[in-house]
Amino acid sequence: MADRKPLISGNWKMHHNHFEAIQMVQSLSYQLNADDYSHCDISVHPPFTDLRSIQTVLESDNIPILLGAQHCHEQEKGAYTGEVSTGMLEKLNVKLVIVGHSERREIFNETNSQINAKAKAIFKHHMTPILCVGETLDERDAGIAKDKVKIQLDEGLQGIGKDRVGSMVIAYEPIWAIGTGATATPEDAQEMCAHVRDCIRQISGKATAEMVRVQYGGSVKPVNIAELMSQDDIDGALVGGAALEAESFARIAQYRLQ
């Protein structure tokens, strides 16, 4: 198996104002140690309004947690009320940006081609996209989960060079498992993450497929992370609910100690 450093990411969604966010990150940093950071990369993705505060805490206390964003606009600047550009995120020392989260796709109608444009804009500003893909329960029941993910990857990665694809993170998140408490079995999650890697091999070649980090997301908790992480093609987790509280997120990041 290729040597891929695991990445454990916490997507806070629309939770934690900047006071709560500072407390959360400080508490998280007290629970993590140098071994944890050497074993895996750890990122937090707070709401936009928290980014500057969290950047200041991480940099002033030398905390090696990576700062992430949940969303971005694909244009550099302009009349896009309420939006935030990748150039603005780069200035805050943001390292990773989530794109194509199922909530953005379903609630805000983001398309694969917009997601593709966002991924390119993220690269332009020297950050790494975490591209989310995954099927609904109806699609799974209809036996088209793999087709859906393949289309999301084919269209989402269009025109992105091999080196860049290799540096990306792909989060496989079955929509029926997000925020529901219903986790995919480790075997199902492995099968779909291996499928993601196989799609990347078809798009960008074997070497790129071996480099790309594939996360699983969907009701990840301290009790199920170790078994998920023991699967060959799962290189990390994108965590929602269980990432809001420092102790549970720290235990997820320390899955190897279980």
**Given the rule CB under 6 A, which residues bind ligand PEP?**
11, 173, 178-179, 217-220, 238-242
Closer to ligand PEP by CB, 86 or 219: give it: 219
Residue 44 C-beta: closest distance to ligand PEP, Å: 13
Closer to ligand PEP by CB, 98 or 200: give it: 98
Residue 131 C-beta: closest distance to ligand PEP, Å: 12
Closer to ligand PEP by CB, 165 or 242: give it: 242
Give long-range contacts, CB 8 A cutoff, 24+ apart: 138-144: 140/174, 140/176
Whether 173 is a known active-site residue: answer: yes
Write down the catalytic residue from 74, 110, 135, 173. Answer: 173
Whether 20 is a known active-site residue: answer: no
Residue least distant from ligand PEP (Cβ): 240
Q: Both tokens of residue 153?
A: 């990857």
Interhelix angle for 18-31 vs 246-253, to 10°? Answer: 40
Per-residue burial over 72-100, b if 16 or more Cβ lie within 10 Å, else e, is bbbeeeeeeeeebbbebbbebbbbbbbbb
Write down the catalytic residue from 45, 71, 73, 101. Answer: 101
Residue 243 C-beta: closest distance to ligand PEP, Å: 7
DSSP 119-153: HHHHHHTT-EEEEEE---HHHHHTT-HHHHHHHHH
Residue 245 C-beta: closest distance to ligand PEP, Å: 12
Find the radius of gyration of the CA atoms of the chain: 17
Which residues are tagged catalytic?
101, 173
